[in-house]
A and B are shown apart, each in its own frame.
Chain A
Amino acid sequence: MTNSDINRLKDKAFQAFGIFCTFIGLVVLGIFLFDIILEGVQRIDWDFLTTLPSRRASRAGILTAWVGTVWILVLTTLIAFPLGVSAGVYLEEYSRKNKLNNFLEINIANLAGVPSIIYGLLGLEIFVRQMRLGNSLLAGALTLSLLILPIIIVTTREAIKAVPRSIRDGSYALGASQWQTIWNQVLPASFGGILTGIILALSRAVGEAAPLIVIGALAYVPFTPASPLDEFTVLPIQIFNWTSRPQGAFQTNAAAAIIILLIITFLLNGIAVYLRNRQQKKIKW
């Protein structure tokens, strides 16, 4: 065998290995989905979505859980969106290179890697105890907002960075102030990217159980919350609760709830992908 033959063989071998690695992830996900759907899908009906939880598996529904999840989604968006985007705009547009900003940037990058349960402990101390919000929706949404802020800040900065210098120059040259330039040019041009980041961050928040369990969100809530200060539960907690029961019927319930949670996550991700594609088509620099 010549050298070039060996190289070509290595090439082929690595290609095969790559395909194998790619498929491992997909296959595992596929088996998981198949298993869950097989077990849970026949449990999903109108009643399952519209009834309150119960000690009897066959009569338990996920009304409080999915309503709680929607509440959490909305509140978290309202809190994290303005905070994260403003911070991203500040860091990208206003902050000068100095030690304080360097310190901020490094820490924001680090925060994105902090385990979510730590955020739960933080939320428990600050929001539940110090601010006396109790184990309310608001406390939960604030905790999850902290959790996803770093993601939103980072994606906002990336989206803003993609707006070319020439657009800003054009705006400044016409007498616009920095804020006018950001508001009228930079933000509209980067909005698709920012929105994509926020939705991806939310789809992460939707799946979180650990930080909410820590702040005391309950698995058994016999009513749907009516205000941000009410107690609540969310789908992941309901799932966690059901999977820890010994009875098989609850396992089925959990599988059904997982399907609903997956649908919500896939929907959010789908919207993000759609927005990104539309943005890419609309603006070509």
Chain B
Amino acid sequence: MSKRTNKLEAINLDAYYGDFQALKGINIAMEEKNVTAFIGPSGCGKSTFLRTFNRMNDYIEGFRTEGEILMDGRDIYAKEVRVDELRKEVGMVFQKPNPFPKSIFENVVYGLKIQGIKKKAILEEAAEKSLKRAALWNEVKDNLNKSALALSGGQQQRLCIARALAISPSVLLMDEPASALDPLSTAKIEELIYELKNDYTIVIVTHNMQQAGRVSDNTAFFYMGELVEYAKTKTMFTSPQDNRTQNYITGRFG
């Protein structure tokens, strides 16, 4: 097997909300076309960390970072980086499905339209491709003009994944993508993640240990703003090195 390259990297990353330090000296490197799971109790900083990769925290007043975040070796917080360009590379799926109050079709092509692409043929092709990729095409292909709000929760979340894929990112950030869904829809999303890692570097935040075990190659355990342990998922779940990790994954706190 060829050596994988590091897609995402954090070097001595600190993050602050005003005076509160949410992340403390994080160092981590995530390989290309791999799934990395972030686990840890609520408030441990895992979502904050996830959102630094597409700079979604920029809008929060008082938020700032120190240290570096690299994608393909380049600092994404550098001055010359344009946030909209970054987000074309780094797609994001949120905890609660958040389709726009528009048709299914309009949802999928929104990112492309934002970029100024207007040709119907291109949009239609991209919509079909993305919906197929997100395993939603067969369920909606006859109703593309139906409101996205009429879909079930699981379908909405897959639509949000399709929407993210439509602008051809190389990284997909998922912030507890299945926590608001029923078990069947969750299974579908997990299956999808397994499929997608052939082409995308995926980072997923989850509260669900079993889910982390099922879908991820590597797992990072965060606690109180620190990265406590980072290892192959199998290793982490069978022989955690740190006491806190062991206590968390065995359900002693959380």
The chain A residues found within 8 Å of chain B, CB to CB, are 96-97, 164, 166-167, 169-177, 180, 184-185, 188-189, 282-284
Contact = CB atoms under 8 A, between A and B. Distances in A.
Given A96-B61, A169-B56, A284-B149, A174 B114 contact: yes
Contacts of B114: 171, 174-176, 180, 184
Interface string B150-168: 0000000000100110010
A96 B62 CA distance: 11
A171 B149 contact: no
Contact of B101 (A97, A175, A189): A189
B98 A167 contact: yes
Contacts of A185: 100
A175 B56 contact: no
Interface centre among A170, A174, A177, A282 (most CB of B within 10 A): A174
Contacts of A173: 54, 56, 87, 91-92, 94, 164
B85 interface: yes
B101 A166 contact: no
B84 A97 contact: no
Contacts of A172: 56, 59, 87
A143 B214 CA distance: 67
Interface residues of B, number: 26
Contacts, number: 63
A96 to B, nearest CB: 7
Contacts of B88: 175
A184 B101 CA distance: 11
Nearest to B96: A166
Contacts of A164: 98
Interface in B59-87: 59, 61, 84-85, 87
Interface string B170-200: 0000000000000000000000000000000
Given A173-B87, A174-B87, A174-B114, A97 B98 contact: no
Contact of B111 (A175, A188, A283): A175
Interface in B102-151: 110-111, 113-115, 149
A274 B158 CA distance: 34
Contact of A283 (B84, B101, B167): B101
Given A164-B98, A167-B98, A170-B99, 6 more contacts: A169-B56, A171-B110, A173-B91, A174-B110, A174-B163, A175-B114
Nearest to A96: B61
23 contacts: A166-B94, A167-B98, A170-B99, A170-B163, A171-B110, A172-B87, A173-B54, A173-B87, A173-B91, A173-B94, A173-B164, A174-B114, A175-B84, A175-B87, A175-B88, A175-B115, A176-B111, A177-B84, A180-B114, A184-B110, A184-B114, A185-B100, A282-B101
